[in-house]
Chain A
């Protein structure tokens, strides 16, 4: 445990060594959030409701989901693909620690830094632009979905990096995944505004658990009619992605070879 805490601490120190990089990264996130806030504010110009969302609910969704995304999507597992490609993975394998736990510790630090600044940006946007918010509800259930989302995304990202075992084309599949994820996770708008059959189908996939459900639960509380299946699928995908990642990791490792290290 001490080793992983050290990794966590070293990663935090690394952030302070590349301060400008991190500041510019957060600036990009802030810009993206502001575009969405302004877009929805303009949509509500002269309107009180959009679907069954009030202005407060929609803007709360935008800002809460931005915070959730900051926590869920911040990851350093992308480095693993390069480490596989350039052979640095051998150095990691020689260390007396689990690769999964190694990246979990680094990811933890990454998420800590991002959420810390994410909260500051959240307060900044709400204060400066007078964004009306609803009072958060069902925080425990939201936290449950949030933890599941973080774990699911961690394993999906690991699996995307494992592609590096078989091909040098590691960025293209990740790019495609991010593009699809941005829509099906509910970044553009709340998924329950989609036609009910589409919404129900999406709930079967792991994507709404990464962003939509934690943010939606905070605003509307528990969805009584769907909560059981939501919890079951959240647990299913959390366990499922873990086992799948383990399986692909073993398969990739058995085929991994590198010269010149």
Chain B
């Protein structure tokens, strides 16, 4: 465990050095992400200037959905940025060298490119989420459930990224798969109740975007039943096991390209 953590830190340090090479680019990307966050937040504020509730949620609650979405999305981007670069490893044959190394390949291909840039964004998102949450009536039990479901959401994002890696090996297609994943997850910016059936059902029970992005906040505000809380942990476990199964199949099928 300690050895793996040391390797993880080494990869993170290297990733930081690579990122900091293009300072202007880093600065502009950071500004771009802040601009996107502010404009989308303004949209929510703008809507609530003219309406009191959105599907039964107040401004603070709707803002909390958006902030928690940003937290989960940004943390997953910090950790799993290397997945976006995975295609090159497959098509160039460089994945062979990763698989030959005496550590788990996930240390390199899943969490080997920590994006320090996004760390700067997590702090303000977290602070704003705490401010929004302080305006929401909740109980210690609901806060506990929120934390558990938040961790559960990160577990699901991990599984989805492993699935993208496996599909990357099987099809050599990563770029669109990861972007579609991000677009689908983007549905969670707003409470899942805004979507009509069957869209809502699909993104709750088949592709659990709602479990990832909506359920933690719903639990915090006391709008999530026990059955759905139980379902959240069952589905995240199923997806995790499924993603590892798919990864193993992909490794078995891998024949090494390029080289």
Is A156 on the interface with B (CB-CB < 8 A)?
no
> Of B146-154, B156-164, B176-184, which binds chain A?
B176-184
Number of interface residues of B (CB under 8 A): 38
Is B251 on the interface with A (CB-CB < 8 A)?
no
- Candidates A21, A34, A42, A172; contact of B54 at CB < 8 Å: A42
Give the complex CA separation of A32 and B199 in angstroms: 13
Is A135 on the interface with B (CB-CB < 8 A)?
no
- Candidates A32, A38, A47, A173; contact of B196 at CB < 8 Å: A38
Of chain B, the residue at the smallest CB distance from A21 is B176
Interface residues of A in 23-65 (CB under 8 A from B): 24-25, 27-28, 31-32, 34-35, 38-39, 41-43, 45, 47, 50-51
Q: Would A169 and B25 count as touching, CB distance under 8 A?
A: yes
Q: Would B187 and A31 count as touching, CB distance under 8 A?
A: yes
Q: Would A129 and B196 count as touching, CB distance under 8 A?
A: yes
Q: Would B28 and A176 count as touching, CB distance under 8 A?
A: yes
Q: Tell me the dominant secondary structure on chain B's binding face.
A: helix
Contacts known (A24-B176, A43-B54, A50-B51); A35 close to B28, Cβ less than 8 A = no
Q: Would B25 and A172 count as touching, CB distance under 8 A?
A: yes
Give the complex CA separation of A175 and B189 in angstroms: 20
Chain B residues contacting A144 (CB-CB under 8 Å) are none
One digit per residue, 1 when the CB lies within 8 angstroms of any chain B CB and 0 when it does not, for chain A 169-183 equals 101110110111011
Is B223 on the interface with A (CB-CB < 8 A)?
no
Is A188 on the interface with B (CB-CB < 8 A)?
yes
One digit per residue, 1 when the CB lies within 8 angstroms of any chain A CB and 0 when it does not, for chain B 231-250 equals 00000000000000000000
Q: Would A179 and B184 count as touching, CB distance under 8 A?
A: no
Q: Would A38 and B194 count as touching, CB distance under 8 A?
A: yes
Is A168 on the interface with B (CB-CB < 8 A)?
yes
Give the complex CA separation of A176 and B190 in angstroms: 23
Q: Among the interface residues A21, A42, A168, A183, which one has the most CB atoms of the partner chain B within 10 A?
A: A42
Number of A-B contacts (CB under 8 A): 91
Of chain A, the residue at the smallest CB distance from B189 is A35
> Least Cβ distance of A29 to chain B in Å?
9
Is B10 on the interface with A (CB-CB < 8 A)?
no
One digit per residue, 1 when the CB lies within 8 angstroms of any chain A CB and 0 when it does not, for chain B 166-197 equals 00000001001101100110110110011110
Give the complex CA separation of A168 and B24 in angstroms: 10
Q: Would A176 and B55 count as touching, CB distance under 8 A?
A: no
Give the complex CA separation of A171 and B177 in angstroms: 20
Is A225 on the interface with B (CB-CB < 8 A)?
no
Q: Would B25 and A51 count as touching, CB distance under 8 A?
A: no
Of chain B, the residue at the smallest CB distance from A29 is B183
Give the complex CA separation of A173 and B195 in angstroms: 34
Q: Would A179 and B32 count as touching, CB distance under 8 A?
A: yes
Chain A residues contacting B190 (CB-CB under 8 Å) are 35, 39, 42
Chain B residues contacting A129 (CB-CB under 8 Å) are 196
Q: Would B35 and A180 count as touching, CB distance under 8 A?
A: yes
Is A189 on the interface with B (CB-CB < 8 A)?
yes
Chain B residues contacting A38 (CB-CB under 8 Å) are 194-196, 199
Interface residues of A (CB under 8 A from B): 20-21, 24-25, 27-28, 31-32, 34-35, 38-39, 41-43, 45, 47, 50-51, 129, 167-169, 171-173, 175-176, 178-180, 182-183, 188-189, 193
Taking A169-B25, A183-B39 as known contacts, 15 extra A-B pairs with beta carbons closer than 8 A to each other, sorted by chain A number, are: A21-B176, A31-B184, A38-B199, A42-B55, A42-B193, A43-B54, A129-B196, A167-B24, A172-B29, A176-B32, A179-B36, A183-B42, A188-B39, A188-B40, A188-B42
Interface residues of B (CB under 8 A from A): 22, 24-29, 31-33, 35-36, 39-40, 42-43, 46-47, 50-51, 54-55, 173, 176-177, 179-180, 183-184, 186-187, 189-190, 193-196, 199
